[in-house]
């Protein structure tokens, strides 16, 4: 099918702004888990992940298929999956580490280190440049309460755990106005606390991160379609890490264009506002095209 042709015989291209957030990592499990790292975040509006330079809009053509994949959140202690729009790929968030020296995963944002009773302190994992930050370190103590570091967020490093005192909070996510109002995405998961530490588990990072668990309460899952990391598992009957939250792809384009969302994708398109339409894709893999 031919696109609308310019006087030079080529399809009239147009600019598409995007937010591409990958699936968040799961919180560390079975015990003393670090928080999962947030899914990597790449954006052309307001701010992007990892403190990087704002990305550039893509120049696309009508009547052409462009691939979209929405990354799923990771199960406990595992990475999420990447999200994709055309040539843009955001890297999955890293899973949290846990006791017995199991290291966290690197990712779009890195997982937090698990609690430990021997040297060295379990370091948080690295994030990906221009997508997200590293996770925080797990707590080291010779006592009976071990604490996990916070997962990295799209806008901030996860907070280090404090010995047998408290789990680290997840790093904060990035706020963007691509939908027309400011919304935060990509918060890291909170690190765990065994249950006897005075200050308790770490809070989830703003933008979809799940809070850490303790001896009776499991870690909280990251928020769906925000790419949040899951909270780390404590230790005891209720110990469980939270799953990572799924990612999202949001596209902003001229309101003169009409998008077709292909089979395999779930999404909605807003009414025109400010010269743009906005399509939010929340699950699946498939193609989009414009006319």
Report the pLDDT value the prediction gives residue 144, as an integer from 0 to 100: 63
Q: What is the pLDDT of residues 56-104, one digit of tens each?
A: 999 999 999 999 999 999 999 999 999 999 999 999 999 999 987 789 9
Report the pLDDT value the prediction gives residue 2, as an integer from 0 to 100: 33
**Sequence spans of domains, the chain:** 14-291
Report the pLDDT value the prediction gives residue 4, as an integer from 0 to 100: 39
Residues forming a β-bridge with 89 = 84
Q: Which stretches does DSSP call E strand in the chain? A: 14-21, 41-43, 58-60, 66-69, 83-85, 88-90, 174-176, 183-185, 248-254, 259-261, 265-269, 276-290
DSSP helix/strand/coil, 260:
strand
Q: What are the Cα distances from residue 281, in Å, to 91, 228, 288?
A: 17, 16, 10
Report the pLDDT value the prediction gives residue 8, as an integer from 0 to 100: 45
DSSP helix/strand/coil, 254:
strand
Report the pLDDT value the prediction gives residue 122, as an integer from 0 to 100: 85
Report the pLDDT value the prediction gives residue 195, as an integer from 0 to 100: 65
Q: Which residues of the chain have pLDDT under 50?
A: 1-9
Instruction: For residue 140, give both structure tokens.
Output: 């080291």
């Amino acid at each position: 099918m031919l696109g609308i042709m310019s006087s030079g015989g080529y399809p009239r291209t147009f600019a598409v702004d995007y937010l591409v957030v990958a699936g968040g990592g799961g919180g560390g499990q079975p015990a003393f888990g670090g928080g999962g790292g947030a899914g990597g975040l790449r954006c052309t509006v307001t701010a992007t992940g990892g403190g990087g330079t704002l990305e550039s809009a893509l120049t696309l053509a009508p009547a052409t298929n462009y691939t979209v994949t929405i990354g799923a959140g990771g199960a406990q202690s595992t990475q999420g999956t990447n999200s994709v729009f055309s040539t843009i790929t955001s890297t999955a968030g890293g899973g949290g580490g846990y006791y017995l020296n199991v290291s966290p995963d690197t990712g779009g944002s890195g997982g937090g280190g698990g609690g430990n009773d021997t040297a060295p302190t379990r370091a948080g994992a690295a994030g990906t440049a221009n997508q997200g930050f590293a996770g925080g370190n797990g707590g080291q103590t010779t006592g009976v309460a071990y604490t996990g570091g916070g997962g990295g967020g799209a806008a901030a490093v996860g907070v280090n755990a404090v010995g047998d005192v408290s789990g680290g909070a997840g790093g904060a996510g990035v706020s963007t106005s691509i939908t027309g109002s400011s919304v935060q995405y990509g918060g890291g998961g909170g690190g765990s606390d065994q249950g006897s530490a005075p200050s308790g588990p770490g809070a989830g990072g703003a933008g979809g991160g799940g809070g850490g668990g303790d001896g009776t309460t499991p870690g909280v899952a990251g928020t769906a379609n925000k790419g949040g990391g899951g909270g780390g598992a404590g230790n005891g009957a209720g110990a469980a890490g939270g799953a990572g939250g799924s990612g999202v792809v949001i596209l902003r384009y001229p309101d003169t264009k009409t998008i077709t969302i292909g089979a395999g994708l779930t999404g909605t398109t807003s009414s025109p506002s400010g010269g743009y339409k906005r399509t939010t894709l929340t699950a699946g893999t498939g193609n989009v095209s414009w006319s």
